[in-house]
Amino acid sequence: MVDIKSYRDLQVWQKAYELALLVFRMTDKFPRTDQFGIVSQVRRSASSVAANIAEGFGKGNNKRVFEVASDCAW
């Protein structure tokens, strides 16, 4: 059994963080004219997934972690 002491130990958070990094790298290739429009929105959305998982973990309640993560999916 894995000892989970931090949200960073959660595999789902690690995957969400990797996704956010990928989105940031990919959107760097967009034209500068798009940086404050669609790029900004996509980046905020991508980074909020990992942030919401961390927030749910911080609540110390597995049910709340699931609720926050589920809200991110929709």
Binning pLDDT at 50, 70 and 90, where does residue 13 land?
very high
DSSP character string of 16-68:
HHHHHHHHHHHHTTS-GGGTTTHHHHHHHHHHHHHHHHHHHHHTT-HHHHHHH
**Structure tokens, 29:** 């290739």
Mind listing the pLDDT tens digit for each residue in 18-68? 999 999 999 998 988 888 899 999 999 999 999 999 998 887 766 665 666
Token look-up 């949200």 returns 7
Instruction: Please state the domain extents for the chain.
Output: 8-73
**Structure tokens, 41:** 């929105």
**Structure tokens, 45:** 């959305």
Q: What is the pLDDT at residue 2?
A: 73
> What size, in residues, is the chain?
74
